[in-house]
Structure 1
């Protein structure tokens, strides 16, 4: 018998949500929003091959007071359109386009998971002066993202195929990398929004071309114009030393926060711990002054 979802999850999923679209470099970008427009704003960024619905059970729990929370489908993902090619700068432009129309107020905060953390850090480097802060959640800064490695090794994210049976396709949904302890009701919700109806049946939503080159290397880092913070899952992909390296290369005083008991996909196995950590960080950033890092 499948585990029944707890009330906090069903309440979050049922929370009022508005949707919108904006054009970014010729591609229609979809987003979902919670809370009244005007900010202070938070923009949530999914990982490679994922989509905005990965945040459906997290975003409503971050709406406190007047806060506005938005989750984006990057180009080639979810319900957004597809581009001719993809890279981190292209996706950083998608974020900027959403920031301009989604009611996120002045100087919002970006929060990105995995590859979305690479996009978030890239945005902080490109237009950080327009942001209050940028948070990367278990984003391993190295040659290739975990999603890209899986695609190159043909362990996941292969060519889009049409499946006649919807339930059979849903049963094939796996997180990359796979991890123990995923909450089944979260897993099912994400899977249901990962597929789309096509001629002849059902297929995954993501564009397979997104995995052409989505890694972030230490050499790509520099000094951003906003605060940064790094979250690492205890059983995830970011070793403690990597967090220190990123902070050192970005020249910022930044916290490195560990989510205990979590695998790489923190919102799937430890969502409430992630929410608690994010609430704490956001509250601190809204009422504190940044500490400047020593000059290099």
Structure 2
């Protein structure tokens, strides 16, 4: 009970280092360990794939003809969230990481729909050679991206061999979803926040939901690739985030959450990786109603919160390697 009370106090009045973890750096890049520098030195091929009228940003690693992996990021993120993870698998797999429509450098849409994301994944997998080994790709998705993996497995199981979900809870608790929908209705024309300089924008970067951020070199890498240059209202140069600021207002929520009928259908094999300190696991421990299927094989990463690739990147690599090597879903 004491830990839960402390967590509630932090949520209501988060410390500055949670709200703005990069602010103290004043635009400087933090030191990074050798493994991280080596990983990001393995530059992906950058391209775009067209689907349903949108141009989708895609990063690829590895040789065509090897088994396919498709990495899918979380909400308001982008494909480069995987740029320090994917290289660890490039010798054995053909890998693609996609920026979802409305995020990264991908085009924005008038409406965002789960079936369209599933269609985008198939288009990317076909265009980048993820089927070239004669099998189906494995989808790996974090958070909102994990929900898309699960949805695709329910509605289009022919697209994937298996799915790995990373700290995926199929959306916020119902009360938070209701508040978000109300805010979207009240501010349908929300504009993106702009900042007068690149350094000022970096200082405002934060992880959502808020959490401790000890590996600043990871957060800094992600943040620098989350920004784009724009002209501000006064005509001056500015910087803003790459995601569509009206993404949540434009999301078709009728397909957001799985239904009992969806869970009754056969699924491709699915597994789950979670952070030990994630709100998802806390909600489960509290016995709260969740859409998440608790029967999936699960690996819990110690000392990790929701953004496990930021908190424990090498542990995440190890967990993924374990699943891809030993999990029955990888059998031909």
Which bin holds the TM-score, normalised by the shorter protein?
Answer: 0.7 to 0.9
CA radius of gyration, larger in: 2
Partner SS state of residue 141, structure 2: strand
CA contact (8 A) 1:147 1:211 kept: no
Alpha-carbon separation, structure 1, partners of 2:169 and 2:329:
29
Aligned match of 1:36 = 63
Tell me the alpha carbon deviations over residues 138-162 of structure 1, each in whole angstroms, 9 at most, x when there is no partner.
11135669997896687xxx63033
Partner SS state of residue 120, structure 1: helix
CA contact (8 A) 1:144 1:216 kept: no
Q: How does 1:78-227 map onto structure 2 within 5 Å?
A: 78-105=104-131, 106-142=135-171, 159-199=191-231, 200-212=237-249, 213=251, 216-219=256-259, 221-222=262-263, 223-227=265-269
Distance 1:244 1:129, change over 3 A: farther
Per-residue deviation, 1:179: 1.1
Per-residue deviation, 1:187: 0.3
CA contact (8 A) 1:29 1:75 kept: yes
Aligned match of 1:45 = 72
Alpha-carbon separation, structure 1, partners of 2:87 and 2:171:
32
- Name structure 2 gaps, 5 residues minimum: 1-24, 184-189, 232-236
Per-residue deviation, 1:3: 4.8
Aligned match of 2:187 = none
Partner SS state of residue 301, structure 2: strand
Give the TM-score, by structure 1 length. Answer: 0.85
Alpha-carbon separation, structure 2, partners of 1:45 and 1:278:
14
Partner SS state of residue 299, structure 2: strand
Counting matched residue pairs gives 282
Report which stretch shifted further, 118-127 or 167-176: 118-127
Partner SS state of residue 44, structure 1: strand
Aligned match of 1:69 = 95
Report which stretch shifted further, 138-147 or 174-183: 138-147
Per-residue deviation, 1:89: 1.7
Do residues 17 (structure 1) and 17 (structure 2) align?
A: no
CA contact (8 A) 2:161 2:268 kept: yes
Per-residue deviation, 1:180: 1.2
Partner SS state of residue 283, structure 1: helix
Aligned match of 1:264 = 306
Distance 1:146 1:26, change over 3 A: farther
Give the TM-score, by structure 2 length. Answer: 0.77
